[in-house]
Amino acid sequence: MSTSQDKPLPLAGIRVVEFTHMVMGPTCGMVLADLGAEVIKVEPIEGDRTRQLLGAGAGFFPMFNRNKKSIALDLRHPQGLEAALRLCAGADVVAQNFKPGTMGKYGLDYAALRRLNPRLVYVNHTGFLPGPYEHRTALDEVVQMMGGLAYMTGRPGDPLRAGTSVNDIMGGMFGAIGAMAALMQRGQTGEGQEVHSALFENNVFLVGQHMLQYAITGQAAAPMPERISAWALYDVFTVKDGEQIFLAAVSDAQWQSFCDALGFDDLKADPALRTNNDRVRLRPSLLADLRARLASRPAAELSALFEARGLPFAPIVRPEDLYADPHLLATGGLADIRLPDGERAGQTAQTTLFPITLGGERLGVRLDPPTLGQHTRELLAELGYGEAQMQALLDDAAVA
């Protein structure tokens, strides 16, 4: 699938200035950048700290900062702050995800910037929407614990956070949705507005289906490992050579097809297993029987049988295995980027693209994740700074 764009991207001509770090704010900027906006990442002189993270954080900066420009400014220096204000004066969107009060300390909060730029859309990414919790320090793990997601993911008595930054990433996506909605409304009113996206409220939205289950049925949702499944065959099976595979049959027709595919004529003919609800009532014993029957079958064989009959199945895949996924490779779901930092700086790696198509095309990588201050001179020149002024700023360490 092509990632070239023969026509302007939807947000071409929109300028975004982001004061962000970690995952949530940068995700918002990445979404807007992938959709064609010019996104300028304002970094401190020493750089976004995520550039240097190890372990689980090693992928943060290159993942969420593609298609952006970098300008390094010392906001504590009057001349660095002046450059930031000039950027914001000409921006369509400003996005930030620092602690409450941080932007106001520099006169870069919405109340200050709207006087400078009434058409500005200002996106706050915070832990909580304004209210009793708003000054708490939040992390993805914090809101997963207090928002019911960790309870639903783990076993009873063993809350477990989801295996990726779900609230940070989705919170940034909702920030981008809010920014685009505000830009559309600006087209009608001529005025910008402030947008808030928050980790806790995002997490509550994710568990809303379980809240409604309780409201409607009076029965509390059980953690996913202990849930009462709506389908009897809907589980992970350990098969030949210790491989694991998820198999499902979510209708009576699929159950019949499953039995036919595997030659389980006795199960197909058993009147006690005729309907899905019958099978759910007997689920513990049925699953034990199926586990024994499937233990010697190769995962590849089961995959082929299920795919041929249109039955739901999935091998249990690790993230690193996805680099060889034939569907991702055939559809252009991965793209090369040049790494900006660390031991592999200057080398290429593959990143995942935004999971949509526009006009049949994927949204590609136009700009590699920037090195620190890569576009400082270019952007200062656009703001009207002459060479002597830029050099003075560099000498004063107001920019880098």
Instruction: Tell me the residue range of the domain where 155 lies.
Output: 15-207+332-395
The pLDDT value given to residue 1: 58
Q: Over the chain, what is the mean pLDDT?
A: 96
- Asked if residue 148 is part of any domain, the answer here is yes
Asked if residue 169 and residue 125 are part of one domain, the reply reads: yes
Question: Hey, what are 167's tokens?
Answer: 């609230």
- The Cα–Cα gap between 255 and 250 comes to 7
Distances (CA, A) of 318 to 161, 167, 261, 323: 17, 21, 28, 10
161 in a structural domain: yes
291 found inside a domain: yes
Find residue 125's DSSP bridge partners.
197
The Cα-based distances of 345 to 21, 83, 199, 370, 371 in angstroms read: 19, 28, 32, 11, 9
Report if residue 5 sits inside a domain.
no
**Total domains present in the chain:** 2
Query: Do 273 and 229 meet the contact criterion of CB atoms below 8 Å apart?
Result: no
Helix (H, G, I), strand (E, B) or coil at 15: strand
Answer yes or no: do 125 and 190 share one domain: yes
Which among 270, 296, 318 is the end of a domain?
318
Instruction: Express each pLDDT in 194-216 by its tens digit.
Output: 999 999 999 999 999 999 999 99
Residue 383: CATH number of its domain: 3.40.50.10540
In a domain, 213, yes or no: no
In terms of domains, do 29 and 88 share one? yes
pLDDT by residue (tens digit) across 259-298? 999 999 999 999 999 999 999 999 999 999 999 999 999 9
Q: 379 and 298 in one domain?
A: no
In a domain, 4, yes or no: no
Digit-by-digit pLDDT tens for the chain (400 residues) are 556 566 899 999 999 999 999 999 999 999 999 999 999 999 999 999 999 999 999 999 999 999 999 999 999 999 999 999 999 999 999 999 999 999 999 999 999 999 999 999 999 999 999 999 999 999 999 999 999 999 999 999 999 999 999 999 999 999 999 999 999 999 999 999 999 999 999 999 999 999 999 999 999 999 998 887 889 999 999 999 999 999 999 999 999 999 999 999 999 999 999 999 999 999 999 999 999 999 999 999 999 999 999 999 999 999 999 999 999 999 999 999 999 999 999 999 999 999 999 999 999 999 999 999 999 999 999 999 999 999 999 999 999 9
Q: How far is CA 87 from CA 47, 71, 83, in A?
A: 18, 10, 6
> Which amino acid is present at 28?
C
For residue 394, which of 376, 382, 378 has the smallest C-alpha distance?
A: 376
* Residues whose CB is less than 8 angstroms from the CB of residue 292 and which lie 6 or more positions away in sequence, other chains included: none
DSSP 55-72: GGGTTHHHHH-TTEEEEE
Is the residue at 9 inside a domain? no
